[in-house]
């Protein structure tokens, strides 16, 4: 049988899913690659994989896409790993550096700046001093494991999932399991079982992860992240895509 090609993000927030995939029989039916979010999305766009755990904004670049799982990377309120870090209040920011590893979170920052904070700073892609600028009016978007422990380093910190909830009263879905072609229901059912296995075994997974003094991994994986694909998260997804189209 031809194996299903799958790309998943290689951050801590996906480790429960990877744990489930690697500890169940689904692993024998797939070719799995681990990538940063932007590469994960590009592989699906280029048809180098059949399913990707991709940033939801990337669906706008797919001629055909299907949600193929009951699970996602989401949050109800603060997620604690998707931020704007700033040297000043967001309303005083003159330059914002976008995250070179991100699609959805950069777009989320743009949506919030336009519709919630109503600010128009200059947006810099691939800033040479990304995340290092000492300029008092510069901020930067950063996501994933690189943000762990950084909240204490900046006076102004904006959790983008929390700010989205303030604006919309909805949860947020950062990434979903998306296919670029129809996938059999039989495979989807088995895939869901594997992902649920990983979520059910988060306590075992936590024992395998390196301990950190500057970040609560247990709180992050058990409480901050919300992995169930709810109707409200779907509503948030389509609202977010509409906001992106209007940028």
Report yes or no on 247 lying in a domain: no
DSSP 8-state code for residue 65: -
DSSP structure string for 146-178: GGTT-GGG-SEEEEHHHHHHHHHSS-EEEEEEE
Q: What is the CATH number of the domain that holds 117?
A: 3.40.190.10
Report yes or no on 236 lying in a domain: no
Residue 164, domain extent: 82-168
Report yes or no on 243 lying in a domain: no
**Chunked mean pLDDT (size 10), the chain, 247 residues:** 91 96 97 91 96 94 97 98 97 97 92 98 96 96 95 95 98 97 97 98 97 95 98 98 98
Report yes or no on 240 lying in a domain: no
Question: Model's pTM, two decimal places?
Answer: 0.94
- What dihedral angle (degrees, nearest 10) is formed by the CA atoms of 221, 56, 149, 212? 30
Query: What's the pLDDT at 153?
Result: 93
Helices in the chain by DSSP H: which ranges?
Answer: 15-22, 37-45, 104-112, 160-168, 185-200, 202-208, 217-219, 231-245
Report yes or no on 184 lying in a domain: yes
Number of domains, the chain: 2
Report yes or no on 95 lying in a domain: yes
Q: Sheet of 156-159: strands edge to edge?
A: 122-124, 95-97, 138-143, 82-86, 156-159
Among 168, 188, 203, which residue terminates a domain?
A: 168
CB neighbours (10 Å) of residue 71?
A: 22
Dump pLDDT digits (tens) for 237-247.
999 999 999 99
Q: Are residues 182 and 64 in the same domain?
A: yes
Dump pLDDT digits (tens) for 194-215.
999 999 999 999 999 999 999 9
């Amino acid at each position: 049988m031809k194996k299903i090609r799958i790309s998943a993000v290689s951050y801590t927030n996906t480790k429960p899913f990877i744990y489930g995939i690697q500890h169940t029989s689904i692993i024998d039916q797939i070719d799995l690659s681990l990538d940063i979010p932007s590469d994960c999305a590009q592989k699906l766009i280029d048809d180098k994989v059949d399913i990707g755990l991709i940033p939801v904004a990337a669906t706008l670049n797919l001629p055909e896409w299907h949600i193929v799982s009951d699970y996602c990377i989401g949050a109800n309120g603060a997620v604690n790993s998707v931020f704007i870090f700033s040297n000043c209040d967001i309303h005083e920011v003159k330059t914002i550096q976008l995250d070179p590893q991100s699609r959805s979170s950069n777009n989320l920052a743009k949506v919030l700046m336009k519709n919630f904070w109503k600010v128009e700073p200059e947006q810099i892609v691939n800033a040479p001093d990304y995340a290092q600028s000492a300029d008092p009016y510069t901020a930067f978007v950063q996501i994933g494991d690189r943000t762990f422990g950084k909240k204490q380093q900046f006076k102004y910190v904006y959790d983008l999932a929390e700010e989205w909830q303030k604006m919309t009263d909805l949860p947020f879905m950062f990434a979903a399991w998306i296919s670029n072609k129809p996938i059999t229901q039989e495979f989807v059912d088995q895939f869901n079982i594997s992902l649920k296995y990983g979520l059910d075994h988060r306590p075992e997974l936590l024992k395998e992860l390196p301990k950190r003094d500057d970040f609560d991994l247990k709180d992050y994986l058990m409480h901050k992240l919300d992995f169930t694909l709810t109707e409200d998260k779907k509503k948030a997804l389509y609202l977010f895509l509409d906001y992106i189209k209007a940028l």
